[in-house]
Amino acid sequence: PGENETKVNLEELKTSVLYSGPVDPSEWVGLRKSSPLLVYLRNNLLMLAILAFEVTIYRHQEYYRCRNNLTAPVTKTIFHDITRAHLDDGLVNCVKYFINYFFYKFGLETCFLLSVNVIGQRMDFYAMIHAFWLIAVLYRRRRKAIAEIWPKYCCFLTCIITFQYFLCIGIPPAPYYPWRSGNANFNSNIIKWLYFPDFIVRPNPVFLVYDFMLLLCASLQRQTFEDENKAAVRIMAGDNVEICMNLDAASFSQHNPVPDFIHCR
């Protein structure tokens, strides 16, 4: 570009995708020459193999239950004979219980930690939006109130990760974006913070991995909120009902159904 067409200095311009080397427009749609071809298709074939393996397992389980007149378990757990009553029977049963129901008990806290991780890793405009959502969810305080707003939170995560995916793809190779024109008051740091598509400071696609992990756990937590309303699940895993915060500390033990191993004497 000419001197009046952009405010980018020469050093930054050399790192641009458009001017660092020849540009193949076909790469924008995912086509790239590769030799051998198997290396290019390796990840796609791996995903197909994993999906085929998953479908085979589920089909085999369904066929086995139909042939032997068995019903599917209420909860998708590893140790079907371990319930909430076995949690205090010993260390082995305790480990088995948490292998089955760790996310059922601590999934919400895990989602909060992953949200803080997204904010700390990104430190950009979208991290600020995640922070506002985290404050809005924590402001509800009670678990039932959080469960009511949680589907909206999952919808927000789905929309924002899709939008950022298109930002990472950007437009086909072109001279520049509007924020790189000579009249725009944008520099590379602002573009990076706003996560704008750019040919010089390209959006970091690794950020989408953090968002995806948060979306994955948030989706599992939404399923957990639905399972909490099922009587069969509550019998197996125990309920997640909050103990009232107004209880007196001296009379707390009489409201706690778990045995007091410290002051049992």
126 class by beta-carbon count within 10 Å (0-12 exposed, 13-18 middle, 19+ buried) = buried
Determine the average pLDDT of the residues in 121-143: 92
Q: Range with the lowest mean pLDDT among 95-109, 219-233, 236-250?
A: 236-250
pLDDT for 265 beyond 60:
no
Buried b (16+ CB within 10 A) or exposed e, 164-197: beebeebeeeeebbeebeeeeebeeeebbbebbb
Q: What is the pLDDT of residues 81-92, one digit of tens each?
A: 888 888 878 888
- Beta carbons within 8 Å of 177's beta carbon, 6+ residues apart: 171, 196, 197, 198, 199
| Average pLDDT value over all residues in the chain | 83
Query: Which amino acid, residue 52?
Result: A
Q: The tokens of 42 are what?
A: 């390796």
Instruction: Report how far residue 114's alpha carbon sits from residue 4's, in angstroms, rounded to the nearest whole number.
Output: 45
Structure confidence by residue, pLDDT tens digits, 46-81: 999 999 999 999 999 899 999 998 888 777 888 888
More confident residue, 142 or 14: 142
Q: What is this structure's pTM?
A: 0.80
Q: What is the 3-state secondary structure (H, E, C) of 51-96?
A: HHHHHHHHHHHHHHHHHCCCCCCCCCCCCCCCCHHHCCCCHHHHHH
CA 144 to chain CA centroid, Å, is 21
Catalogue the long-range contacts made by 7-16 (C-beta closer than 8 Å, 24 or more residues apart). 7/180, 7/182, 7/184, 7/187, 8/180, 8/200, 12/188, 12/200, 13/200, 15/200, 16/199, 16/200
On the question of pLDDT at 3 being above 60, the answer is no
